[in-house]
Amino acid sequence: MGLPFVEWIDDPKQLFVCAKCGTCLTGIKHLVSESFRGGTGTAYLFNHVINVNMTESIRRVMTTGTHWVRDIDCRYCNSRVGWFYEMALKEDQQYKEGHFILELALTKRIPGMVDIVAQKRMKSDAASSSGESGSSNNPSVSSLSFEEEKEDVTV
Amino acid sequence: MKRSTAASHDPASNGNSVTNFSLSRLFQLSATERQGVTTRRSLRLQQAYERLVAGGESPSVTVPINSPEPHASSDGNESLASSATPNISPPPVKVRRMQVGGNPAALNNRSVGDRLKEKQKDLQSHVTTTEGSSSTAAAAPSTSTTTVALNSSVTTRDKPLSDRQRNTVRVISQYLREIGMTNTVETLTDESGCREEDPLATQFREALEKSDWGTIVEIVDQLKDQIKESSYMTLRVTFLEELLKTHFSSGDLIAALAVLQKEYPRHPDFLDRRKHYGSMLAADADYLKSNFADSIVMTQKSDLLDLAEDLFPPTFLLPKGRLGNIIDQAFKTQVQTCRLHINKGFPAHGSNGILRDHKCNTLHFPNRTSQIISDHEAEVWVLKFSPNGQYLASTGKSGLIYIFKVLNDRKLAYYNRYMLSDELDGINCLSWSGDSNFIACGSAGNSHFGIFLIDIHRIVDVEFPVQDHIIRLGVEKFTVADFFPSPRQHRIVCADQKGNFTVHDVDHDLSDKGNDFEGLRVNGLYCLKDGRTVLASDTLFRIRSYNFENMTDLTLIEEAHPIVSFTLDSPEERCLITTKSGGIRMWCLETRTLIQTFFGSVHADIVVNACFGGANEEYIASGSEGNNRVMIWKRDEKYPVKYLDGHNGSINAIAWNPHFKNMLVSGSDDHTIRVWSSVPPGSTFVEPVPEILSRVDEDPRDSPVDCEPYLRHASVKY
């Protein structure tokens, strides 16, 4: 139904993208917990995920208890990536409510990118504070992200 | 303004009451004439009546007609003398109001008997008058307004003309005089009591014509009380200097000296000028003559007139052609408020806003589908007209690019098509080169296939998708691209959402040697006409400008919502941004402020492009999620002025033809492209049938491979 519009998360370190189509889902700054397991293996808990469609609320029994969850699909390719906690029936599980689970097997990690305006700000901060240490940092930051990208991108 | 008396008619009515009664009925004025508006008909009636009266009456009666009028214009003209009294035909017993008993000057010329009769009628009329308004016939009270005579104190007028009315009458009489109806002007002036111009002003104009500076200075002096001190001084000095110049040019130094000594103001501001002219006196006479005889030194009469118009009191001099100017201004305002005004300039027909407010009907606005093209068997995502307005490129989910030729403002014809690659998810970005010969397209989504450059005039075999003549830039890079609008070069800017952002010169080198900016996820691009600057929208809700020559960049606009797409108008002053949940917003690029938000369309999930269009790029068209309508806004109004219905799926792309201002093209999810145009006047409208243009019989570019037998559409005659 038309070309779906996809957004991106601004995270300089790492991004999680859909394994099938590469749509950006979230960044590592939204990571809450790493100790979850899903049907395909390890899963991470995030508090903010974009570009996903949610199904209706389903009552599911999990190892930690009964929860109401919604399954999450990538908006671009409609492939499953995880689920969303709507409500937890046990009190000590309620910290998960409103958070998203992304299964690692269904997603990929790519390095993030420092935004151009943020780069400039870093440069000017560095220049104002100290001469050499600042200037040596910046080329490494930008060149790192560029090189890593080239390795990581697969067709 | 003295009035001529109507006493002449009273004896007539008394004498032959029967005949005059019927006659007067015959000459009864229409309602407007009774209201005091003089028309040609009433003039003729007056003259006929006069002749009738004069022919059958005693000489004593005719004397008042010929009495010398204080009003200069009616000298020696019998019909004109009576033309000052438009309300002339009373019924026999009732007496006309207007001029009776009001004119002391006329009184002197009439016999005693007449005066007595007049007084009698006065008393009668005062009894019979209604509401104090003057009436021609009691049966039909006239509503002609009374006027306060400019120079006379005796009047039976009850309602003097207000200033506004008076000025309007002056403007009207100026207009009438300019089109040559001097008789009417006389009548109008007489009746309303307002001269078009003060007699002083007329004298001023005449003196200016004759360069009679002395008179002008006197006139200026007369107006001394009515204008500001500084204006008075300025005027006086200006005209005095003109006077001096004439004296100098004629060599009359003694007169010049006299002027300088006596007339020239001794104000310290003017000291320098005075000294300057004083020093002139000492100069050689011949030198002076030659210098000042040269007309270049003399100030232009038109400049002097402009100066006078500025500084004199506003009611003194009437600017030329005032009524015409006012009507033109009114028409311009009507055009501005006309919501569907799509034609530049004034329409040749119609009353030009005089009788009715101008309002375009939808005849000149795209309002009907004139063609449905269903060549794409997939959702249509992008539509772009070439810069010269002759071709339309369209593409969508299937990865096929169709190029159509614009035949007229209603129809397209198939021109060419390309297939890029089977693996594409679709093409979502298309850009024309400045010379309308090449197209750059980028694939959708996250599959970075690079940018394909296509020559639109080369015919290809669709079986083999990617061939030599298609240039490919940046494998595994680049999703969006834009050509610089220059027709001479082929420089293209490519970017994607992984941080690549470079400019390539396709004519010279295809390798990746261009400069690039890092740290950007670019969603949309727009190259400016100056050939150096590129605007790019990125995922952080910003639009920034980048200059690849000196590697500078600047944040122009920071939005509060994700930017789906953006575009600029032709003069590159305004930027139209489609945001995800903030509506369509228009920003001013120079001041970087938000000008207008357009309501009515929904943008949440899919990419919909809006565009400028129409005459002066005053309209904005866009599709919307959720409904299948094309929405058109006027640039300064928040709500749409027009909806175009007809599509069966939501509309993804819109393009407005830069050449034919009434042609709009829209592409939607129902696999069709619709051409919207204005219905020609007088024709019956027929809903067009969807046609597949690429399979028209006589088109030589038919693809030799037909996958399935499609219905052959009847050949389209244009």
**Statement: residue B666 has pLDDT above 80:** yes
The pLDDT of residue A64 is 87
DSSP, res B516: B
Whole-Å CA distances, B635 to A23, B556, B656: 35, 21, 14
Res. A125 pLDDT band, cuts 50 70 90: confident
What is the mean predicted confidence (pLDDT) over B656-675?
88
The domain locations on chain A are 14-111
Show residues of chain A in contact with B540, CB under 8 Å: 10, 115
Say if B650 is an interface residue toward chain A (CB within 8 Å).
Answer: yes
DSSP characters over B158-208: SSPPPHHHHHHHHHHHHHHHHTT-HHHHHHHHHHH---SS-HHHHHHHHHH
Please state, in angstroms and rounded to a whole number, the distance separating the CA atoms of residues B292 and B288: 6
- The Cα–Cα gap between B251 and B254 comes to 9
Higher pLDDT, B539 or B250: B539
**Closest residue to A149, CB basis, from B498, B539, B652:** B498
Do the bridges between strand B480-483 and strand B542-547 make them parallel or antiparallel, or are there none, so unpaired? unpaired
CATH architecture of A14-111: Beta Complex (2.170)
Hey, what are B115's tokens? 């005066």
What does the pLDDT read at residue B17? 47
Would the CB atoms of B669 and A1 count as touching at under 8 Å?
A: yes
* Residues from chain B contacting residue A2 (CB–CB below 8 Å): 379, 381, 605-608, 625, 650, 652, 669
- Asked whether residue B663 is assigned to any structural domain, the reply reads yes
For the stretch B352-409, pLDDT in tens is: 566 666 666 555 677 788 888 888 888 888 899 998 888 999 988 887 888 898 888 7
**Looking at residue A83, what is its pLDDT?**
92
- Report how far residue B437's alpha carbon sits from residue B488's, in angstroms, rounded to the nearest whole number: 11
Are residues B303 and B426 located together in one domain of the fold?
no
Instruction: Answer yes or no: do B126 and B220 share one domain.
Output: no
Which residues lie closer than 8 Å to B401 by C-beta, 6 or more apart? B393, B394, B395, B417, B418, B419, B420, B427, B430, B439, B441, B454
Q: How confident is the model at residue B115 (pLDDT cuts 50, 70, 90)?
A: low
d(CA B239, CA B14): 60
The pLDDT score that the predictor gives to residue A16 is 92
Residue B444 is nearest to which of A3, A10, A113, comparing CB atoms? A3
Residue ranges in A28-131 assigned as alpha helix (H): 116-129
CATH number, residue B624: 2.130.10.10
Of A4, A10, A149, the CB nearest to B540: A10
Residues B650-655, mean pLDDT to the nearest whole number: 90
Q: Give the confidence band of B496 by pLDDT, cuts at 50, 70, 90.
A: confident
B208-244 confidence digits (pLDDT tens): 777 777 777 777 777 777 777 777 777 777 777 777 7
Which residue would you say has higher pLDDT here, B238 or B645? Answer: B645
> Other C-beta atoms within 10 Å of B256: how many?
22
Closest listed residue to residue B519, CA positions, set B535, B503, B541, B496: B496
CA distance B421 to chain A (A): 15
Give pLDDT tens digits for B258-305. 777 776 666 766 777 777 777 766 666 666 666 665 544 556 677 777
- How close does chain A come to B697, measured CA to CA in Å? 32
Interchain CB contact of B461 with A (< 8 Å)? no
Q: What is the pLDDT of residues B541-587, one digit of tens each?
A: 999 998 888 888 888 999 999 999 999 988 888 999 998 888 899 99
In this prediction, residue B348 carries a pLDDT of 43
CB B381 within 8 A of CB B393: no
Residue B77: the pLDDT is 41
Give the chain B residue whose CA is nearest to the CA of A52.
B605
C-alpha–C-alpha distance, residues B618 and B633, integer Å: 9
Q: Report the pLDDT value the prediction gives residue B58, as an integer from 0 to 100.
A: 43
Indicate yes or no: CB of A7 within 8 angstroms of CB of B562.
yes
How much is the mean pLDDT over chain B?
A: 70
Angle B240-B245-B249 (CA atoms, 0-180°, nearest 5)? 150
Q: Closest Cα partner for B86 from B35, B153, B17?
A: B35
B474, B617: one domain? yes
Domain interval for residue B219: 197-311
A31-77 pLDDT, tens digit each: 998 988 888 889 999 999 999 999 999 998 988 889 999 999 998 88
Q: Which residues in chain A have their CB less than 8 angstroms from residue B625's CB?
A: 2
Do B277 and B389 fall within a single domain?
no
CA A17/CA B156 separation, integer angstroms: 95
pLDDT at A46: 93
- Going from the C-alpha of B642 to that of each of B385, B611, B694, the distances in angstroms are 22, 15, 31
* Continuous segment of H or E residues that includes residue B504: strand B501-505
ipTM for the assembly: 0.76
- Using CA atoms, how far apart are residues B712 and B695, in angstroms rounded to an integer? 7
Of B191-195, B371-375, B699-703, highest mean pLDDT: B371-375
Place of tokens 């009028």: B69
Inter-chain contact B555–A117, Cβ cutoff 8 Å?
A: yes
Instruction: Scan for tokens 């009524």, then name that residue.
Output: B323
pLDDT in tens, B15-54: 444 444 545 555 555 555 555 555 666 677 667 667 766 6
DSSP B140: B
Can you tell me the distance from the alpha carbon of B421 to that of B100, in angstroms, rounded to the nearest whole number? 99
Percent of chain B's residues with pLDDT above 70: 62
Q: What pLDDT does residue B715 have?
A: 34
Q: Is residue B331 part of a domain?
A: no
CA distance A131 to chain B (A): 22
The whole-number average pLDDT for the span B91-105 is 46
Contact A2 B444 (CB under 8 A): no
What confidence tens digit (pLDDT) does each residue in B513-528 have?
Answer: 556 787 788 888 999 9
Residue A88 has pLDDT above 80, yes or no: yes
Decide if B499 and A153 are in contact by the 8 Å CB cutoff. no
Task: Tell me what pLDDT residue B76 has.
Answer: 38
pLDDT band at B193 (very low <50, low <70, confident <90, very high): confident
Tell if the pTM clears 0.80, that is, is over it. no
Q: What is the DSSP string of B640-659?
A: -SEEE---SS-EEEEEE-SS
- Which pLDDT band, with edges at 50, 70 and 90, does B120 fall under? low
More confident residue, B378 or B127: B378
**Biggest CA pair distance of chain A:** 59
The mean pLDDT value for B639-665 works out to 87
**pLDDT at residue B668 tops 80:** yes
From the CB of residue B309, how many other CB atoms can be counted at a distance below 10 Å?
14
Residue A75 C-alpha, separation from nearest chain B C-alpha, in angstroms? 9
Residues B519, A22: C-beta atoms closer than 8 Å? no
Domain co-membership, B301 together with B380? no
Mean pLDDT, residues A99-120 taken together: 87
Q: Across the interface, do A114 and B519 touch by the CB < 8 Å criterion? A: yes
Q: Predicted confidence band at B96 (pLDDT cuts at 50, 70, 90)?
A: very low
How many folded domains does chain B comprise? 3
Q: Which residue type does B258 have?
A: A
Alpha-carbon span B111 to B101, nearest angstrom: 14
A140/B460: higher pLDDT: B460
> A22 — contact with chain B (CB < 8 Å)?
yes
Q: What is the DSSP letter of B369?
A: E
Strand ranges inside chain A, DSSP E:
14-18, 24-27, 31-38, 41-46, 52-54, 58-62, 65-74, 80-88, 100-103, 107-111
Q: Do B539 and A116 touch (CB under 8 A)?
A: no
Segment among B104-108, B492-496, B646-650 with least mean pLDDT: B104-108
Those residues with Cβ within 8 angstroms of residue B192's Cβ, 6 or more apart along the chain or in another chain? B147, B161, B166, B169
B471 plus B571 within the same structural domain: yes
Whether B670 and chain A come into contact, CB under 8 Å, resolves to no
Considering the domain architecture, whether residues B438 and B538 belong to the same structural domain is answered as yes
Per-residue CA distances from B45 to B19, B33, B82, B85, B244 (Å): 16, 11, 11, 11, 55
Angle A87-A92-A98 from CA coordinates, rounded to 5°: 30
Nearest to B520 among A17, A116, A155 (CB): A116
Residue closest to B82 by CA, chosen among B28, B125, B38, B119: B38
Instruction: Give residue B477's pLDDT.
Output: 80
- The pLDDT confidence band at residue A84, using thresholds 50, 70 and 90, is very high
B526 touches chain A (CB under 8 A): no
| A3, A113, A146 member nearest B606 (Cβ) | A3
Do B459 and B531 share a structural domain?
A: yes
Instruction: Find the mean pLDDT for residues A80-100.
Output: 90
Nearest residue in A to B448, CA atom: A155
Q: Nearest-CA residue of chain A relative to B554?
A: A117
pLDDT at B294: 55
B654: which strand partners? B666
Distance from CA of A63 to the nearest CA of B (A): 35
Same domain, B393 and B281: no
Please report residues of B whose CB lies closer than 8 A to that of A118: 519
Same domain flag for B593 and B652: yes
Task: Please answer yes or no on whether B520 and A149 come within 8 Å at the CB atom.
Answer: no
For residue B102, tell me if it sits in a domain: no
CB pairs under 8 A between A and B: 88
pLDDT, residue B254, reads: 74
Residue B519 and residue B640 share a domain: yes
B263 Cβ under 8 Å from any chain A Cβ = no
Contact call for B606 and A1, based on CB within 8 A: yes
Question: Cα–Cα distances in Å, from B657 out to B295, B302, B322?
Answer: 54, 46, 40
Strand, coil or helix: what is B418? Answer: strand
Contact B446 A23 (CB under 8 A): yes
The residue of chain B nearest to residue A153, with distances taken between CA atoms, is B476
